[in-house]
Amino acid sequence: MSAEKILSDWKKKQFHPLYWLEGEEEFYIDKVMDYAEHQILPESEAAFNLTIFYGKDANWADVLNACRRYPMFAERQVVLLKEAQQMKDVEKLEPYIENPLSSTILVVSYKDKKLDARRTFAKLIKEKGVMLTTKKLYDRDLPGWVQEMLQSRGLTITPKGLALLVDHIGNDLSRIENETEKISVNLGKRTQITEDDIEKYIGVSKDFNIFELQAAIGARDLPRSIRIVQYFEANPKAAPPQLVMPSLYSFFSKVYMVFGVSTGDEKTVAAYIGIAPFFVKDYIQAARKYGFEGVEKILLLLHQYNLKAVGVGSNSSNDPSHLKELVVKIIT
């Protein structure tokens, strides 16, 4: 079952006796646990009927006893077991799971791990309760996730703003949500987040970032490329070489794919190489500027400098001159 379905059921006052939340993506687990802690019971009932355990310190017998209690002056009680992956003998909860109380809602978070589906304990949970298994989003899925999340809040974001946000924060869904909420508070009556908002409220330069560097290199614009690299040198946290090199390699790998498209239609090219149509002109332009053999040489050059960026064949993996040297070699 998905986190959205669990929360939807809870808002309708539809509950199961057991919820097991496991997997790599903590965002959804935290969402469900937070709702269970603060929303299932009204404040007047929570004082007597909400019990929270933490796996590192919890004793399995205490958890069992809490689950077997009856609620006080209420229809149900909530028992939360957080960080259950750190609990010794968690499988000793099996006797209760076999016969849970309908008046108890037990919610267990089991982060960064999954139960062995072959074991009796995991099979019993699936049979008796509701299991949520989460996975980390692939980087390619992040833009779509952000757009859906914003749409649910009545907001949109410009393509460039979306690219800056995802590139700067990466695969941290909680932080993406927090940052976009911070921006939305400052939008006033506007409903669209722009690259200016990303720059102002998150601190990412809209003019000096990896996407602008890709565009400048793709256009063979050496002065602009050098200005961006110099900004990176002055602001090392803005774009560490260890992140810039793979990004440039990804860019030119997709440029290389442009040569495999038989049509010049931008939508077709974008779909084929797997990018947003908004950015496809940069890739097509780079393919025209460098040609097939030129892009092949660039990919080889990027591979060599990527090794330098991680310290292979170089005395310093953080030498800022490597990036400037690479950019000059690519363009000239």
Separation between Cα atoms, residue 224 and residue 282, nearest integer Å: 15
* pLDDT tens readout for residues 287-298: 999 999 999 999
Q: Is the pLDDT of residue 314 over 70?
A: no
* 17-26, 30-39, 56-65, 317-326: segment of lowest average pLDDT: 317-326
* pLDDT tens readout for residues 191-207: 999 999 998 898 888 88
**CA angle centred on 266, ends 260 and 269, rounded to 5°:** 25
Helix (H) or strand (E) holding 60: helix 60-68
Query: DSSP 3-state assignment of 152?
Result: coil
Contact at 8 Å (CB) between 324 and 226? yes
Dihedrals phi, psi of 193, to nearest 5 degrees: -85, 130
- The answer for residues whose C-beta is within 8 angstroms of residue 4's C-beta and 6 or more apart is none
Q: Is the pLDDT of residue 80 over 90?
A: yes
Confidence of residue 21 (pLDDT cuts 50, 70, 90): very high
* 6-10, 22-26, 260-264, 288-292: segment of lowest average pLDDT: 260-264
Residue 82: strand pairing partners: 54
Average pLDDT over residues 10-22: 94
Confidence of residue 188 (pLDDT cuts 50, 70, 90): confident
Average pLDDT over the chain, rounded to an integer: 89
* 184-193, 264-273, 284-293, 319-328: segment of lowest average pLDDT: 319-328
- What is residue 331's predicted lDDT score, i.e. its pLDDT? 92
* 13-22, 120-129, 273-282, 304-313: segment of lowest average pLDDT: 304-313
- What is residue 328's predicted lDDT score, i.e. its pLDDT? 93
* CA torsion angle 241 245 247 252 (round to 10): 150
Place of tokens 């779509």: 144
- Residue 310, token pair as written in the block: 């991680």
> Where do the domains of the chain lie, and which CATH numbers do they carry?
3-134 (3.40.50.300), 139-202 (1.10.8.60), 210-331 (1.20.272.10)
Dihedrals phi, psi of 106, to nearest 5 degrees: -100, 120
Q: Is the pLDDT of residue 309 over 70?
A: no
Place of tokens 């947003």: 276
DSSP one-letter code for 283:
H
* pLDDT tens readout for residues 121-165: 989 999 899 999 999 888 888 888 999 999 999 999 998 899 889
